[in-house]
Amino acid sequence: MIGLMGCGKSSIGRLLAKELGLTFLDLDHYIVEKAGQTIPGIFAEQGEEGFRDLETRALREVLGTPVVIASGGGVVMREENRTLLEAHAPVIWLKSSLHFLANRIQGDKNRPLIAGRDALTVLQQLAEVRYPYYTQCADYILHRGEMNKAASLHAVLEYLKQWKYENS
């Protein structure tokens, strides 16, 4: 699962994994566990580039295993990561309005990219850069709007049934 911060990758991913009988893996949590440091700590000590190095390494380690992965929002920023994601389909982009996302994440201290900044402004800047990459990687775009988790899960499951049919 890919998408901007706050779009529901972790919450929908957990539900999806449970429904499919798979393990759920939040890539950011995996990185934190491996690094022994919080994401804000990694950013403070190693910068965004250092975090992205850890993210690429983590992605290489977990792709190809039967799990539902919620990636970090910026995973698509590296070409290598996009190539890895595209090779391990299906990739699902959870897309919501920027205003909806801003309301969900404003003030979240675990999101270093918005620390002390206006969430909507940051999301607009991120969307401008990341949306073309999300479009490139996504096999399916779920336009969530303000769709609840159950409806989102249902839509993803319906897509996966179709994907499995087309790829079997």
Q: 149-166 and 9-20 are packed helices; what angle lies between their axes, rounded to 10 degrees?
A: 60
Q: How confident is the model at residue 116 (pLDDT cuts 50, 70, 90)?
A: confident
Q: Tell me the C-alpha distance between 77 and 88, whole Å.
A: 17
> Cβ-count burial of 9 within 10 angstroms (0-12 exposed, 13-18 middle, 19+ buried)?
buried
Q: Which two tokens stand for residue 119?
A: 């969430």
Percent of the chain with pLDDT strictly greater than 90:
78
Q: What is the mean pLDDT of the chain?
A: 92
45 and 36 in contact (C-beta within 8 Å)?
A: no
State the Cα–Cα distance between residues 48 and 53, nearest whole angstrom: 9
- Do residues 111 and 102 touch, judged by C-beta distance below 8 A? no
pLDDT for the residue 26: 96
pLDDT of 108 > 80? The answer is: no
3-state DSSP call for residue 144?
coil
Domains of the chain: 9-163 (3.40.50.300)
Find the mean pLDDT for residues 38-60. 93
Q: pLDDT tens digit string along 88-107? A: 879 999 999 999 999 888 87
